[in-house]
Structure 1
Amino acid sequence: EALRAEGSVEVKAVGVNERDCYEQANYQAQIESRRAVEICENQANHLLHCRVVASRITDHGSYITDVYGSGSFDERKSTENECRSTSVRESELNAISLCESKYRVRCQLSRSGEVTKHKTAKRRRFIIVGPKEEYQICRAQAAAQPESRYRVQCAVQVLAKPSF
């Protein structure tokens, strides 16, 4: 079982052109290679030491895709306006945060937050007893992309296996 251990990490990057993208991805792959080794050693129950055996390009410079974020709001004693604006703001922040963690660069909104669901519900404040109160429930979605100077995305996969 330990002999079949394998650790794999895929690193996504963006660049102004393909060459820049590959340089960024390879740089990040060097940083993340330790994680691939740790995954491999955990699978081998720390009986064997692992090392990086391969690093290969898995995405050859494709168009950058949107990263979607969502936001929600479910509160009593609030207005529909507050519900909508809070869920939209949360979805936009979430989209930017997810984009920046995925690509490791500054991101901007590519699609503003939009409420996808709104309803007013009546339910008890406490599970069994108490008066029914109005709750505003909203869901929103937004999209983000790396800054406009970045034109392509690419990915590199790092593979670690036991060394003998």
Structure 2
Amino acid sequence: MQTGYIEQNMIAGFVTRGGADIKSITATVAIGAGLPVKQDSDGNAKLLESTDGLDAMIGVVVRFHDGWTLQVFPQEIGVLSTGYIQVPAAASITPKRNQAVYYDATNQVFTTDNTKVPIRAVFAANGIADGCAEIQVTQQIVIPVKTTGS
């Protein structure tokens, strides 16, 4: 059973395990690797906003590097809709495995703060490493574990 992260030096947008479902979508502006996106009315990727709900997210942008070329828009980007991926994490959190994931749109980091945007994901390991965390993105809404005594 995994109790820590797979890698010590994590980089946002890296897919950490095989079997991920990655789709291609058009982006008309730069979107950072490891950030959650939704689809706008024209079908383009758009960064998740603080007013979005759980059903808005279509996935997390994967890291891609094709040399030192200028970005020209529109361009195709890869978005992980299910699987394990490294994402930027709030410095103050110490997530637990299977804990619900939220997105702080103001600071563009993932967090355990349930006042932020809910994400279809759970943290994949305990702890925090290098400002990144590993999450498991799911197709289904994650059902929180019932706490006793409430």
More strand by share: 1
TM-score with structure 2 setting the length = 0.21
Question: RCO higher in 1 or 2 (8 Å CA, sep ≥ 6)?
Answer: 1
Larger Rg over CA atoms: 1
